[in-house]
């Protein structure tokens, strides 16, 4: 299993990557485009790599409140106004390209 790349440009659509906690993740084409557009410093990718964290004061994955989605990215500081949402499909956390602002 391939480790998650450090930047959006190196991610291939629908390829399954493994993050440090062993969780499997994948990304749709739309998510990769949104990542390159809204996450130039790759903070959201780092949050995904970190995996699930406590919701307060941490960068990482937290539960999503959006119907049909399991987790969302949470980043602190610049770029923290957006969340990328993912859903678990057959054991893989897939980010199809759904972004919210808060």
What is the predicted pLDDT for the residue at 102?
A: 75
Q: What is the pLDDT of residues 40-61, one digit of tens each?
A: 999 999 999 999 999 899 999 9
Q: How far apart are CA 20 and CA 39, in angstroms?
A: 20
Question: 3-state DSSP call for residue 102?
Answer: coil
Averaged pLDDT, 79-102: 93
Question: What does 47-90 look like in DSSP terms, one character per residue?
Answer: HHHH-B--SSS--EEEE--STT--EEEE--STTTTEEEEEEEET
What is the predicted pLDDT for the residue at 71?
A: 98
What is the predicted pLDDT for the residue at 79?
A: 62
What is the predicted pLDDT for the residue at 18?
A: 98
In this prediction, residue 64 has a pLDDT band, given cuts at 50, 70 and 90, of very high
Q: How far apart are CA 81 and CA 36, in angstroms?
A: 16
What is the predicted pLDDT for the residue at 1?
A: 87
What is the predicted pLDDT for the residue at 101?
A: 92
Averaged pLDDT, 26-33: 98
Residue environment code for 35-68, b if the CB has 16+ CB neighbours within 10 A, otherwise e: beebbeebbbbbbbbbbeeeeeeebbbbebeeee
Q: What is the pLDDT of residues 65-79, one digit of tens each?
A: 999 999 999 998 876
């Amino acid at each position: 299993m391939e480790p998650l790349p450090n930047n959006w440009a190196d991610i291939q659509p629908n390829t399954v990557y493994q993050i440090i906690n062993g969780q499997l993740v994948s990304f749709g084409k739309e998510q990769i485009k949104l990542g390159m557009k809204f996450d130039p410093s790759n903070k959201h990718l780092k949050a995904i790599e970190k995996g699930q964290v406590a919701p307060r004061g941490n960068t990482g994955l937290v539960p999503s409140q959006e119907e049909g989605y399991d987790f969302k990215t949470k980043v602190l500081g610049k770029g923290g106004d957006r969340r990328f949402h993912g859903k678990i499909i057959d054991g893989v956390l897939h980010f199809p390209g759904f972004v919210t602002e808060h």
